[in-house]
């Protein structure tokens, strides 16, 4: 899977970089930096897995590839776009790069911080696979950040302006902040901002209606693959010719002295069709219990609960019940716990990072609300597509949590890229004009970044595992919504409508001071009116 995923992801990134830069050379530099990031992060993760007990599985290894290449390319696009902009203002490319790092660096740092901290929130999960995914992704993003702020700038400066050929940014040429598609879109939004954000918000709420069909209770073995592998065929054969639970019985272990009583209560359960003779070793007895229902059915899970209650009630048995069905049941409950704990935690830490970066309270709350709305809309659409187009039986236990963490962490990136530029412009132009200028300056690069990140996650959908397909599809869709709708339309309209109040309680939220000349003219006018 890893080699296929890597090849497909690199191919997608190369094509999109060529379309974005329209240069036969420039695309190589971000790809080289991203490739170095991936190699270094995999080496670090291998060392931690070998010597520090870090959990790494096929799922986290696959997600690492698309995340590092996608997020690393995003950071590269933002820095390169700002560097190109500064080359138009400064003749010396070293000075231009220094200013590009100074102005784009905080946004890239804050963006990567949201991803890293959000991923590390997964370490409080009960599910070991979920807990292991957090450090894996955090390491990948950190390495990508270092590479894009050190290796990529060095490569760009060494190569000079010619690397942008055939569209080289010449010193003194016009900046695309008042012309172009995004400038016109921003101006159109600014004419009726309230109507725009209300209409956009209602459309996203309508998309979220699909959440009522969300069925993230896990997938059976037969439903876990887009095809029909041998394991599924074998299970179906077992179901036809033997009791449904034959292929995956319960495992019961307890103290030897209480074995007869434990066996008796297990056999007495109506969901158990047979038990094997107990095997005794070291004062403990072990036997298997065949279920009457399919191991992944709700009836089998109910049987596990009853059997557990029954064996726990046997005095001095110290009995435990395991097996495939028990694992499925425990995973469901762990996923429920993780959703209740991790989702609020991620929102809280991202809110703090936004508050520190934007030095405001209102703006972070607005941005968090838009990203959560985008998440709900993406999940609603995805669930509808899974049910009525792909005909999937349901969703994996960790599906809502993984999609949430990735969309909040990555979706907030584009809001950070936009709003840091808007804040920079608002200090000189005012918030309304700053919002339009910020959208015009960042619209193209953020759209390109979103398309690349969405495409890299969409590659997951090509794998034959339903869980990968669902995560890849939902994250790709959510990133596109964030890029094309939430960031460009909803956030811009809200910023224009709220105006300076967006930055409360910072100095930008205060009314602009009126010049002394204006005050003198106002006084003279008032005196003339009195006369």
370-386 pLDDT per residue, tens: 989 999 999 999 999 98
Q: Which residue has the higher pLDDT, 225 or 458?
A: 458
112 and 40 housed in the same domain: yes
- The confidence score (pLDDT) of residue 37 equals 94
- Regarding whether 261 and 116 lie in a shared domain, the answer is no
Q: Report yes or no on 517 lying in a domain.
A: no
Indicate whether 516 belongs to any domain.
Answer: no
Which pLDDT score is estimated for 332?
85
Classify residue 25: in a domain, yes or no. Answer: yes
Let me know: does 373 contact 208? Beta carbons within 8 Å. yes
Q: Which of 405, 382, 376 is nearest to 458 (CA)?
A: 382
Residue spans of alpha helices (H) in 289-430: 298-312, 324-358, 362-388, 399-429
**What is d(CA 6, CA 454) in angstroms, rounded to the nearest whole number?**
15
Note the pLDDT of residue 526: 46
pLDDT at 507 over 90: no
| pLDDT above 50 for 187 | yes
Is there a single domain that holds both residue 156 and residue 287? no
Q: Which of 274, 305, 328 is at the close of a domain?
A: 328
* CATH classification of the domain holding 319: 3.30.70.120
Same domain assignment for residues 240 and 159 = no
Same domain, 17 and 99: yes
Q: How confident is the model at residue 1 (pLDDT cuts 50, 70, 90)?
A: low
- Choice between 490 and 6, residue whose per-residue pLDDT is larger: 490
Based on its alpha-carbon atoms, the radius of gyration of the chain, rounded to whole angstroms, reads 28
Residue 62 located in a structural domain? yes
**Closest C-alpha to 396, from 324, 459, 468:** 468
Same domain, 16 and 160: yes
31 and 13 Cβ atoms separated by less than 8 Å? yes
Mean pLDDT of 159-170: 80
- Per-residue pLDDT reduced to its tens digit, 283-297: 899 999 999 888 878
Cα–Cα nearest to 408, from 481, 462, 334: 481
- Domain with 157, as residue range(s), is 1-166
Q: Are residues 148 and 3 in the same domain?
A: yes
Q: Which of 148, 166, 184 is the last residue of a domain?
A: 166
Co-location of 272 and 151 in the same domain: no
**Count of domains forming the chain:** 2
Give the domain CATH number at 42. Answer: 1.20.1640.10
Q: Check residue 522 and give its pLDDT.
A: 40
pLDDT greater at residue 516 or residue 17: 17
Last residue of a domain, one of 166, 181, 216: 166
**pLDDT at residue 311 greater than cutoff 90:** yes
> Does residue 346 lie in a domain region?
no
Same domain, 153 and 250: no
Q: How many Cβ atoms from other residues are within 10 Å of residue 57's Cβ? A: 12
With a cut of 50, say whether residue 515 has pLDDT above it.
no
161 and 235 co-located in one domain: no
pLDDT at position 525 is 44
The pLDDT of residue 521 is 45
Which of 460, 414, 418 is closest to 436 using CA atoms? Answer: 418
Instruction: Give yes or no for residue 29 having a pLDDT over 60.
Output: yes
112-149: per-residue pLDDT in tens? 888 898 889 988 888 887 888 889 999 999 999 999 99
Q: Decide if 308 is inside a domain.
A: yes
- Tell the burial category of 289 from Cβ atoms under 10 Å away from its Cβ (0-12, 13-18, 19+): buried
42 and 156 housed in the same domain: yes
Let me know if residue 515 belongs to a domain: no
Report the pLDDT value the prediction gives residue 130, as an integer from 0 to 100: 82
User: Is residue 15 located within the same domain as residue 126?
Assistant: yes
Residue 335 pLDDT exceeds 90: no
Q: What is the pLDDT of residues 386-417, one digit of tens each?
A: 888 888 888 888 888 888 888 888 778 788 88
Average pLDDT, the chain: 85
In a domain? residue 390:
no
Low-confidence winner among 271-275, 318-322, 451-455 (lowest mean pLDDT):
451-455
pLDDT above 90 coverage of the chain, percent: 31
The pLDDT tens digits of the residues spanning 53-71 come to 888 887 788 888 888 988 8
């Amino acid at each position: 899977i890893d080699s296929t995923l890597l090849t497909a992801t690199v191919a997608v990134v190369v094509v999109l970089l060529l379309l974005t830069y329209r240069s036969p050379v420039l695309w190589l530099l971000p790809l080289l930096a991203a490739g170095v990031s991936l190699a270094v992060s995999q080496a670090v993760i291998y060392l931690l897995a070998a010597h520090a007990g870090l959990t790494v599985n096929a799922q986290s290894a696959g997600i690492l590839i698309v995340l590092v290449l996608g997020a690393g390319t995003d950071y590269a696009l933002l820095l390169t776009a700002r560097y190109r902009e500064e080359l138009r203002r400064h003749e010396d490319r070293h000075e231009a790069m220094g200013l590009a790092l100074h102005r784009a660096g905080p946004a890239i740092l804050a963006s990567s911080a949201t991803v890293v901290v959000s991923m590390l929130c997964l370490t409080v999960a009960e599910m070991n696979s979920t807990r292991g995914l957090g450090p894996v992704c955090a390491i990948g993003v950190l390495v990508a950040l270092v590479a894009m702020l050190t290796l990529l700038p060095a490569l760009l400066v060494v190569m000079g302006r010619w690397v942008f050929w055939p569209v080289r940014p010449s010193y003194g040429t016009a900046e695309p902040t008042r012309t172009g598609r995004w400038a016109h879109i921003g101006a159109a939004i600014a004419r009726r901002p309230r109507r725009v954000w209300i209409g956009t918000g209602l459309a996203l709420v309508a998309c979220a209606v699909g959440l009522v069909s969300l069925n993230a209770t896990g997938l059976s073995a037969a439903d876990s693959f887009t095809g029909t592998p041998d394991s599924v065929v074998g299970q179906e054969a077992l179901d036809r010719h033997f009791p449904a639970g034959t292929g995956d019985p319960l495992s019961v272990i307890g103290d030897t002295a209480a074995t007869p009583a434990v066996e008796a209560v297990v056999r007495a359960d109506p969901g158990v069709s047979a038990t094997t003779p107990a095997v005794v070793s070291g004062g403990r007895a072990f036997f298997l219990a065949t279920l009457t229902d399919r191991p992944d059915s709700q009836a089998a899970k109910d049987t596990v609960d009853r059997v557990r209650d029954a064996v726990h009630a046997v005095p001095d048995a110290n009995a435990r019940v395991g097996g495939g069905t028990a694992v499925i049941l425990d995973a469901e409950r762990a996923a429920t716990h993780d959703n209740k704990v991790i989702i609020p935690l991620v929102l809280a830490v991202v809110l703090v990072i936004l508050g520190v970066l934007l030095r405001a309270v209102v703006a972070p709350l607005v941005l968090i609300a838009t990203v959560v709305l985008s998440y709900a809309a993406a999940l609603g659409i995805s669930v509808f597509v899974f049910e009525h187009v792909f005909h999937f039986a349901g969703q994996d236990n960790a599906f809502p949590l993984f999609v949430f963490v990735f969309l909040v962490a990555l979706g907030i990136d584009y809001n950070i890229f936009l709003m840091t530029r808007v804040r920079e412009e608002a200090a000189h132009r005012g918030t309304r004009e700053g919002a339009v200028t910020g959208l015009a300056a960042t619209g193209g690069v953020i759209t390109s970044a979103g398309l690349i990140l969405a495409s890299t996650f969409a590659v997951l959908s090509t794998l034959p595992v339903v869980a990968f397909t669902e995560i890849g599809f939902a994250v790709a869709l959510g990133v596109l919504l964030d890029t094309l709708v939430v960031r460009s339309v909803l956030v811009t309209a809200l910023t224009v409508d709220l105006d300076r109040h967006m930055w409360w309680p910072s100095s930008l939220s205060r009314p602009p001071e009126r010049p002394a000349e204006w005050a003198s003219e106002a006084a003279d006018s008032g005196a003339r009116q009195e006369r």
